[in-house]
Structure 1
Amino acid sequence: MQKITTFLTFNDQAEEAATLYTSIFKDSKITRVARLPTGHAMTVEFELAGQKYIAMNGGPHFSFATGISLAVSCADQAEIDYLWEQLTTNGGEPGQCGWLKDPFGVSWQIIPVNMGNLLRSDDPASAQRKMAAMLQMHKIEIAVLEQA
């Protein structure tokens, strides 16, 4: 059993967000939608890659801040490219160093699973080059970091 569940409060797009997220991550699904008498979703329970989340429509006084994000460890560049495209299309915003905001304002970090190793080097000059390269990126480019 998952002890801690991420709870995301949207203005009025909880179901749309859960639908987008579950459409792009493998092993994901919407598990329950609690509806108001109007038929609109109040809460949406869903899983992304086996991790449980709850989304709620809370009204316009709720918004997301960049101080919290959902970090995705990607196996390779193809996965980074795919997720970046899916989450920035239709109103998403690219950020620096693998960060982005999706069309609903949720912050994500789309990074390679071996990001720490890509930035490390026993040679201080190499480590500086790698960090400098990463700081210039929006979407992470693994090959560029490997060559720096």
Structure 2
Amino acid sequence: MTIAKNTICLWYDSDAEGAARFYSETFPDTAVEAVHKAPGDFPGGTKGQVLTVQFTVLGIPCLGLNGGPIFQHSEAFSFQVATDDQAETDRYWEAIVGNGGKESACGWCSDRWGIHWQITPRVLTEAMAQGGAVAERAFVAMMEMGKIDVAKIEAAVKG
């Protein structure tokens, strides 16, 4: 299996395979392509343990690396998932948060592996792209939310 020319490498303590399998069960156009075991001992583990996992998330090529607890994830990197309606927003949010993840503000949450996600309804990004008073009203409404409430954003857009 060939690694894509541009691949996102995500550092996990020890469960890159579990994360990749969760993503493949949660999001469309997501799959685990290959699991590679370490040919020798490494700082985060021993010979024979899973070292890397090749997978895609919503069509984006990724490589999960089991590197141990040396580095932690932050909001400086997140997957932004555009959703079409409240049902889709709820489904992804609940899948991530309900599987040991954590809620945050303004549509952000993190999964149990520490990867950050923005579950963002298109109505919000479209309102922000309009600029002016529409964007300001949508922004003010969003700032009070954890999970984005589509109806409240739509109401804010209308004024």
> What TM-score does the superposition give when structure 1 sets the normalisation length?
0.88
**What percent of counterpart residues are identical?**
36
> Per-residue deviation at 1:118?
2.8
> Which ranges of structure 1 fall in alignment gaps of 5 or more residues?
none
Please name the residue that 1:23 is paired with: 25
Of 12, 15, 24, the match for 1:10: 12
Taking structure 1 as reference, are residues 115 and 21 closer, same or farther at Cα in structure 2, changes over 3 Å only? Answer: same
Q: Is 1:111 aligned to 2:111, yes or no?
A: no
Choose from 102, 105, 111 the match for 1:93. Answer: 102
Residue 85 of structure 2 is matched in structure 1 by 76
CA contact (8 A) 1:119 1:145 kept: no
Cα distance in 2 between the residues matched to 1:97 and 1:117: 15
Pairing 1:59–2:68 present: yes
Deviation at 1:127, TM superposition (A): 4.4
Equivalent position amino acid for 1:116 in 2: T
**Of 53, 60, 70, the match for 1:44:** 53
Q: Does the aligned pair in 2 maintain the 1:89–1:103 contact within 8 Å?
A: no
Distance apart, 1:89 and its partner CA? 1.4
| CA spacing shift, 1:127–1:26, aligned 2, 3 Å | closer
How far apart in 2 are the matches of 1:50 and 1:104? 20
Instruction: Tell me how far 1:90 sits from its aligned partner.
Output: 3.0
* Count of equivalent residues: 147
- Specify the SS of the correspondent of 2:56: strand
**Unaligned 5+ residue runs, structure 2?**
40-46
